[in-house]
């Protein structure tokens, strides 16, 4: 019971860290994000590139999707032009996962100290840097907690059947990733949790990849909620986001095992392998959709 409470605590800490980090970055960027998204999306490729950059800047694909849907609702951005941004957000969000894959324990205390100094002594913009460092430290601390708890969960006999099913049935692992991500509203957090379990060898790399794939669908929920009441084109953007991720997962899920064998050749650390898998999946799917944005937009417009 205590382990469950700590697990929920670390999830809360991770999400809080993401929120504080994002708040700092939003304060630094001001209102420029809205202008950039509406101005630099003339072509699908430009939209994708700026989607990547803005998602890296804000460290949240959901935040960029919600801003995009808001711009569509305000008639500043068209539905078709938003698809390039959607593809870019899927790639941009993987940078956080890549960063988390490497050992960050020794950064936790220095980041808390630096963040505290900025918040206490700096001016408004400086305080924004303080929030960024504080949020990053919270995320790293939560990741450390996930790794420790994963070792403990792996030794609990009552959870053996669950982990056995996840390791044997990748569809179940994907559904688990989808459901938990839909609840906690963060595919990055879900992938971070999977990193903790694959680090402790509680689950296999293919199972962790399946969880990551499911998380890509689960993260569509908040954008869909944001589109409610936003008009027809806003809803179409949310549906496009869902279709892109669902189609991508359906294409990759049957090949989870060979895909894991490919990423195993790229790195030795299983956490890094999972991060690389996330990048490869999202880049590959985005590049598949990029040349067909116009017919894809037409398809979404016809059925929604």
Q: Quick one: pLDDT at residue 98? A: 85
pLDDT along the chain (304 residues), means of 10: 75 78 67 66 84 81 79 80 90 84 74 83 76 80 74 69 88 92 82 86 93 92 79 89 95 95 92 93 94 92 88
Total-model pTM: 0.83
Q: Quick one: pLDDT at residue 64? A: 80
Is 170 buried (19+), middle (13-18) or exposed (0-12) by CB count in 10 A? buried
Q: Quick one: pLDDT at residue 69? A: 82
Q: Quick one: pLDDT at residue 31? A: 61
Is 75 buried (19+), middle (13-18) or exposed (0-12) by CB count in 10 A? exposed
- For the chain, what is the domain count? 1
Q: Quick one: pLDDT at residue 25? A: 66
Q: Quick one: pLDDT at residue 261? A: 94
Six-digit token string for 23: 């708040």
**Domain range enclosing 186:** 2-303
Element (H, E) at 256: helix 256-264
């Amino acid at each position: 019971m205590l382990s469950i409470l700590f697990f929920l605590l670390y999830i809360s800490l991770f999400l809080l860290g993401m929120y504080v980090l994002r708040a700092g970055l939003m304060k630094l960027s001001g209102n420029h994000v809205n202008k950039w998204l509406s101005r630099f999306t003339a072509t699908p490729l430009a939209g994708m590139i700026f989607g990547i950059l803005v998602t890296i800047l804000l460290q949240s694909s959901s935040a960029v999707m919600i801003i995009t849907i808001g711009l569509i609702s305000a008639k500043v951005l068209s539905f078709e032009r938003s698809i390039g941004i959607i593809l870019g957000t899927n790639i941009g969000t993987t940078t956080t996962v890549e960063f988390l894959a490497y050992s960050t324990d020794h950064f936790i205390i220095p980041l808390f100290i630096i963040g505290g100094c900025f918040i206490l002594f700096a001016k408004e913009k400086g305080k924004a840097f303080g929030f960024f460092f504080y949020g990053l430290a919270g995320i790293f601390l939560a990741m450390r907690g996930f790794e420790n708890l994963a070792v403990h969960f792996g030794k609990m006999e009552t959870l053996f059947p669950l982990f056995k099913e996840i390791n044997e049935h990748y569809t179940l692992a994907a559904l688990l990733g989808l459901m938990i991500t839909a609840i906690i509203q963060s595919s990055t957090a879900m992938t971070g949790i999977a990193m903790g379990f694959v680090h402790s060898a509680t689950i296999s790399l293919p199972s962790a990849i399946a969880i990551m794939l499911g998380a890509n669908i689960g993260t569509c929920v908040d954008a869909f909620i944001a589109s409610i009441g936003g008009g027809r084109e806003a809803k179409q953007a949310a549906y496009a986001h869902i279709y892109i991720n669902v189609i991508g997962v359906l294409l990759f899920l049957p090949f989870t095992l060979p895909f894991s064998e490919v990423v195993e050749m790229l790195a030795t650390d299983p956490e890094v392998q999972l991060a690389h898998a996330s990048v490869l999946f999202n880049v590959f799917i985005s590049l598949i959709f990029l040349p067909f944005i116009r017919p894809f937009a037409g398809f979404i417009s016809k059925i929604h």
